Amino acid sequence: MSRRKGGFLVRGKDRSFVIRGKRRAGAWFIAGAALAVCAPFWSPQPVAAADGRVPAADGRVPAAASLAIGPAVQRHLLGLYAAHRHIHVSDIAPAGPGQALGARLDRNGTVWAMVHWQPSARAGQTAAAGFQDGAGTGVFIRRPGGAWAVAGLGGQPAGCAVRIPRAVRRLWHLPACRALEGQSVPVRGPVTAGVTGAVVTVALAQVGVADNPPVTSFSSPDCNPYTTLVGNPLGASSRHCKTSSNGSYFHNVQDVSEFWCADFTKWVWKQAGVTGHMGTLTPAAASFYTWGTEHGEHISFGGTPKAGDAVILYPPHTKAPNGSYADHVGIVTAVHADGTVNLVNGDFLGPSNIAVRYIANAHLNWWASRVEGSSGEEWALVSPSP
């Protein structure tokens, strides 16, 4: 470094620049810099995006490191989640093994957490149904120097409504959202006769029916027409909801806010001609297990899917299928020779709204865990024609 008029000349091995400054109280301070050569000797600091993701200098997404979420932090996050959902903490069971995930972004130190909760034994049927469709998953963020805050509910597919950074999704083994948000329904082939064929036809015809008003978060009112049509809301409200129309099926139906995967599946079955014990089916996804046992089905985890079946998703470590609580229920619309299936799901997040979504060529083991964001998610099948 050598002194020049108006500043200092700083020389490097291959480049130099002048720092211009002024003397104040016997010391120099920088008034500006005229760069002779830019990068890589100097480059601006990256700016964090709204979701906490900071691009690396080469444009790549930065890495995220796994972070343990201990019991004390879990209790704190449970309190935040209960307040966000406006439910009592006693309605929430502690998270099971492997159900609390944490990550720290390398570049800016932002910390993320995702915790999967289930209803406690104390929770009633209404409270338990409120944990379905990813609403039992809380997503949290803590920026450097800040406190934990609720970023949103997990939803389905898990974390997509919250826009979890790509590096964190990769660490937690969550696939890209568009892979699970839904696809266009293809041209139908031959239709299977009987109730099974009718279930498939009706279910596919509903793809795209969406909440009104549109929402992109499971923290908002989940206003759908199916809850009204099956007539068994569990404390659901029409406040903030509008009306829906869909061809010959709906005409100005009053939407009601409720997590509605089970209401949708029940409505499809009823339209297809399933009649026995339909009062058993409630907004709780697990009620499909109870319905199946009442019709003599022997239900276990796994099995061979058939078109028209209801597929019930259960949290990891559930010992056996049951009628107490399940995460979600959808409908199988086709089975392929390689063991994959096509599915139609109600109450599924998409790019601009929660709607009925179609998924093609899904391996149920992989799909169940990824859509819930919880490794080891179990699934069971119930046939509408036992």
Average pLDDT over residues 138-160: 94
pLDDT over threshold 60, residue 10? no
pLDDT of residue 351: 81
pLDDT of residue 374: 87
Please name every residue paired with 260 in a beta bridge, in sequence order, or none if there are none: none
pLDDT-derived band at 192, boundaries 50, 70, 90 = low
Are the beta carbons of 146 and 130 closer than 8 angstroms? Answer: no
pLDDT-derived band at 29, boundaries 50, 70, 90 = very low
* 53 φ/ψ sector (left φ>0, alpha ψ -120 to 50, else beta): beta
pLDDT of residue 350: 85
Average pLDDT over residues 217-246: 84
More confident residue, 185 or 27: 185
pLDDT of residue 214: 93
Distance CA 209, CA 205 (A): 9
Angle (CA) 206-175-374 rounded to 5° is 85
pLDDT-derived band at 235, boundaries 50, 70, 90 = low
Residue 351 CA to its chain's centroid (Å): 12
Listed in sequence order, the DSSP H helices in the chain are: 71-85, 125-129, 166-171, 178-181, 194-205, 226-230, 261-271, 287-294, 364-372
pLDDT of residue 310: 98
pLDDT over threshold 50, residue 318? yes
pLDDT-derived band at 9, boundaries 50, 70, 90 = very low
Omega prior to 221 cis, within 30 of 0: no
DSSP 176: P
Q: How many Å is the Cα radius of gyration of the chain?
A: 26
Residue 272 CA to its chain's centroid (Å): 29
CATH for the stretch 186-382 = 3.90.1720
Average pLDDT over residues 141-158: 94
Domain boundaries, the chain: 2-35, 64-174, 186-382
More confident residue, 384 or 45: 384
More confident residue, 18 or 256: 256
For the segment 166-175, what is each residue's pLDDT rounded down to a tens digit?
899 999 988 7
More confident residue, 4 or 339: 339
pLDDT of residue 188: 62
The owner of tokens 């399933």 is 274
Please name every residue paired with 243 in a beta bridge, in sequence order, or none if there are none: 254
pLDDT over threshold 70, residue 62? no
Torsion angles phi and psi, residue 21, rounded to 5 = -150, 180
pLDDT of residue 333: 95
pLDDT of residue 346: 95
Tokens of 302: 């796994």
pLDDT of residue 234: 64
pLDDT over threshold 60, residue 1? no
pLDDT-derived band at 187, boundaries 50, 70, 90 = low
Q: Is the pTM above the cut of 0.75?
A: yes
Mean pLDDT across the chain, nearest whole number?
A: 82
Tokens of 308: 């028209």
Distance CA 207, CA 224 (A): 13
**Which 3 state secondary structure label does DSSP give 332?**
strand
Average pLDDT over residues 349-377: 91
Average pLDDT over residues 47-51: 36
pLDDT-derived band at 117, boundaries 50, 70, 90 = very high
- Percentage of residues in the chain with pLDDT exceeding 70? 80
pLDDT of residue 190: 57
Average pLDDT over residues 239-259: 84
pLDDT over threshold 70, residue 23? no
pLDDT-derived band at 247, boundaries 50, 70, 90 = low
pLDDT over threshold 60, residue 344? yes
- Percentage of residues in the chain with pLDDT exceeding 90? 60
Distance CA 141, CA 104 (A): 10
pLDDT-derived band at 191, boundaries 50, 70, 90 = low
pLDDT-derived band at 309, boundaries 50, 70, 90 = very high
Q: What is the pairing mode between strands 250-254 and 2-4?
A: unpaired
More confident residue, 137 or 234: 137
